[in-house]
Amino acid sequence: MQRLAVLSMHTSPLAQPGLGDGGGMNVYVRELSAALARAGVECDVYTRAWSPSLRPTVHVEPGLRVHHVAAGPLEAVDKADLPALVDAFADGVLTHLAGDDAGRGRPQAIHANYWLSGVAGHRLKHELDLPLVSTFHTLARVKAEAAGDESHQREQAESTVMGCSDAVLASCSVEAHQIAELYGLDRTRIEIVAPGVERAFFAPGYRPQARRALGLPADRPMLLFVGRIQPLKGLDVAVRTLDALSDEYPGAFLVVVGGPSGPQGQAEEARVRDLVRAAGLDDRVRFCSPQPHELLSTFYRAADVCLVPSRSESFGLVALEAAACGTPVVAAAVGGLRTLVDHGYSGFLVEGRQPETFAAYAAELLANPMLAAEMSANAAERAGRYTWRQAASSLRDLYGELTERSLVECR
């Protein structure tokens, strides 16, 4: 395997995580593609151009290029309007591959990320006669169970793309089970490849120094929430958790790193800010704008506890990054978080969405420095098992195998 076409239509690996539609998928595409490039697999990432000022191609590092494909207006487009642009995006990718002036030739496989890219990848697979690997990152039928807001169009598209994919990637055993049970996909077509964490950035550090670097109080308990502000991520639960800690830890404060995302993002941020005011927590909740990915480590190191109260998570990259920095996690017992957090060993899992339960586990860590230190060490040790290099190695082998097989026919 020498060359891979990576599709990331709706969000760019160069975009700021935590802003707009940027999140864990941006990190996944960029870090995995970079690791593959370093392992000898050239990666051409294709994403939709959203501004006329973008360069057509950005050379990120040797072997990794990001191409901005014109598809629809050169501006941000609501995600609900993107399905109508999939064919134009696929046309742009085909045109680029046909006119590649570097003489690299066509790729040996296509790796589509998210269902929109999957629809484009489905078409490209048949037009180019190439194997298709799909990663969905989130699943419509799982999100519908959690929040009830996913479209029938997306569900049908995911099912079709899975039926045509030569391999479907799952980040953990929980997601693999969801794909098999909810979509009826043969388990032999599902490959578990866990995302990783870049230990050069995410590693334990000195909490007082991290607090000083961020201008945060050194002598007060700090809770942390990192993620896009949207109902699915449960920021309201994090705020109510802080409120539930008020009697025992009146000086505790919550730092929120992220911005509104999706059609409900602005309304959700307004709702949470109203909740903060109503609870009298204005001086104890600090909203920080989305940060460059590599700078998040300072926030993780500064925190006593990282809260991940999501309604659903296919994997839970925030929990992994916090753990890598030695910060215990109190997380919802959903999706991939069940595999990342070892309850009572590296953090705590909460069944249900009761803020009082999140607060009780957070208080247990705050009240027991020895327990917190032990969990910190355990969390960092477990996180060390997840590396982008390992993920790239597994995928390099998979891509190579797929090029030697007969392509899967559409189900």
pLDDT band at 294 (very low <50, low <70, confident <90, very high): confident
Query: Measured between alpha carbons, how far is 264 from 268 in angstroms, rounded to an integer?
Result: 6
Query: Measured between alpha carbons, how far is 25 from 114 in angstroms, rounded to an integer?
Result: 8
C-alpha gyration radius of the chain: 21
Pick the more confident residue, 113 or 150.
Answer: 113
pTM above 0.85, yes or no: yes
Q: What token pair was written down for 141?
A: 């039928």
Instruction: Please state the length of the chain.
Output: 411
Q: What number is the average pLDDT over the span 319-346?
A: 95
Q: What number is the average pLDDT over the span 65-94?
A: 94
What's residue 314's pLDDT? 87
Question: Is the pLDDT at 231 greater than 70, yes or no?
Answer: yes
What's residue 100's pLDDT? 66
Q: Which of 17-31, 168-182, 298-312, 340-354 has the lowest mean pLDDT?
A: 17-31
Query: Measured between alpha carbons, how far is 241 from 309 in angstroms, rounded to an integer?
Result: 10
Q: What distances in angstroms separate CA 132 from CA 112, 175, 281, 409, 411, one per listed residue?
A: 7, 19, 49, 11, 14
Q: What number is the average pLDDT over the span 220-240?
A: 96
Question: Is the pLDDT at 148 greater than 60, yes or no?
Answer: no
Closest-CA residue to 232 (of 299, 165, 161, 316): 316
Scanning 99-189, the segments in alpha helix (DSSP H) are 114-128, 140-147, 152-164, 173-183
Decide: helix, strand or coil at residue 51: coil
User: What number of other Cβ atoms are within 10 A of residue 352's Cβ?
Assistant: 8
What's residue 212's pLDDT? 97
What are the helix and strand counts (H, E) for the chain?
15, 14
Q: Which domains does the chain have, with CATH numbers?
A: 3-196+388-402 (3.40.50.2000), 207-383 (3.40.50.2000)
Q: What is the pLDDT of residues 236-293, one digit of tens each?
A: 999 999 999 999 999 999 999 999 987 788 999 999 999 999 999 999 999 999 998 8
Q: Are 196 and 35 in contact (CB under 8 A)?
A: yes
What's residue 129's pLDDT? 94
Q: What token pair was written down for 374?
A: 């032990």
DSSP 8-state assignment for residue 83: G
Query: Measured between alpha carbons, how far is 230 from 77 in angstroms, rounded to an integer?
Result: 18
| Parallel/antiparallel/unpaired status of strands 253-257 and 285-288 | parallel
Pick the more confident residue, 80 or 329.
Answer: 329
- Angle between the 114-128 and 152-164 helix axes, to the nearest 10 degrees? 40
What's residue 275's pLDDT? 97
Closest-CA residue to 399 (of 114, 135, 137): 135
